[in-house]
Amino acid sequence: MYNGNGRPLSKKKQVQVMIALTILAWATQTLRHQWGFGADVPLVTPDRIAESKSTLHDAGIKMATAIAALNSAATGFRALSTQIDVIANNLSNAETTAFKGSRVNFEDLMYQSLKQPGATTEAGDASPSRIFVGFGTQISNTRLDLTQGRPDQTNRDEDVAIQGTGFFRVKALSTLGDGTAYTRNGNFFTNNNSELVVGSGDGYRLDPSIRLPHATTNIQITQDGVITATVAGKTAPTKVGTLELSTFVNPQGLSALGGGFYQETHCSGPPVTGTPGQNGMGQILQDYLEESNVDPVKELVMLIKPSDPSN
């Protein structure tokens, strides 16, 4: 469908147009059959007026019922449209480092009670069943899939993956909440101050900051996050810092910032920071990056299901 300027209508506008056209077609058909529009106009008599009032009343009830049904159907269209958007976003990030996919959950809307269970029947018995008519569906939430992505070996000393639970804490922009964000992306680089920064977005640096001295070689990162390196002018390895991890009571409550970064919210609870490999924290894998946990085949199947008439 296209608008007056020849531009394609959005998916939402197309659904609204289809609903409006359906209502218009139904109303036109009803007027033609019930009132005789399009045929010869009959004489106006008291009987005809009474008949017209009755017909108008019945038509009004049918119209209201049809509109309610169309509104219920429209809620389904809107919910499925949102589900398709979420699936498409998952698919587009199937190769994004440490990306976590999302799943859409639905819930039904309110109901109109036409008969309550236990109501007295004509025989004087209690009815064992009920008649409830629902008014459609809506999205209840989008759940973050926090399952572990597959470790991908990169053979790069500054690349690390978290094997288990936990996030790296970084200093984000001061305009973003309290200026602190969390990520599982361990694709680290060094900035002009020799600080380790995440190689995505605006290059947020680790918090607390870790500096690699100039001309550092033979970088080693243990499973508990201790970083050692050979500094120019020395032969023995030198400890240059320790990676820390943060966990949350309810990671589903984190706010997504994009770029693989999340922020603490009231629902997520405060972060619990600790040493990798201790107190339930994940371990550090050097020379690896965590892949996206999106399964493209599964997502494609989910994308087909809403448009499959056999479902």
Average pLDDT, rounded, for the chain: 82
Report pLDDT digits (tens) over 195-249: 999 988 788 999 999 999 888 889 999 999 999 999 888 888 999 999 999 999 9
Percent of all residues in the chain with a pLDDT value above 90, rounded to a whole number: 52
Q: What torsion, rounded to 10 degrees, do the Cα atoms 195, 196, 197, 199 define? A: 130
Mean pLDDT, to the nearest integer, of 105-112? 89
Q: Rounded to 5 degrees, what are φ and ψ at 115?
A: -155, 125
Q: How far apart are the C-alpha atoms of 288 and 161, rounded to whole Å?
A: 5
Task: Give the gyration radius of the chain's Cα atoms.
Answer: 31
Instruction: Decide the pairing of beta strands 168-171 and 188-190.
Output: unpaired
Strands 137-144 and 151-153: what pairing?
A: unpaired
Say which residue the tokens 């998952």 belong to.
Answer: 90
- Going by pLDDT thresholds of 50, 70 and 90, the confidence category of residue 134 is confident
Distance in angstroms (rounded) separating the CA atoms of residues 287 and 290: 10
pLDDT band at 135; cut points 50, 70, 90: confident
Contact 96, 83 (CB under 8 A): no
Residue 37's pLDDT band, with cuts at 50, 70 and 90, is: very low
Greater confidence (191 vs 44) lies with 191
State if pTM tops 0.75. no
Q: Name the burial class of residue 167, with classes exposed (0-12), middle (13-18) and buried (19+) by CB atoms within 10 angstroms of its CB.
A: buried
pLDDT per position as a tens digit, 175-187: 887 889 999 999 9
* Bigger pLDDT: 152 vs 35: 152
d(CA 272, CA 263) in angstroms, rounded, equals 13
Question: What confidence tier does 2 reach under pLDDT thresholds 50, 70, 90?
Answer: low
- In whole angstroms, what is the distance from residue 225 CA to residue 240 CA? 11
- Residue of higher predicted confidence among 3 and 84: 84
CB 199 within 8 A of CB 187: yes
Which tens digit of pLDDT belongs to each residue from 153-169? 999 999 999 999 999 99
Residue 27 tokens, joined? 């109303």
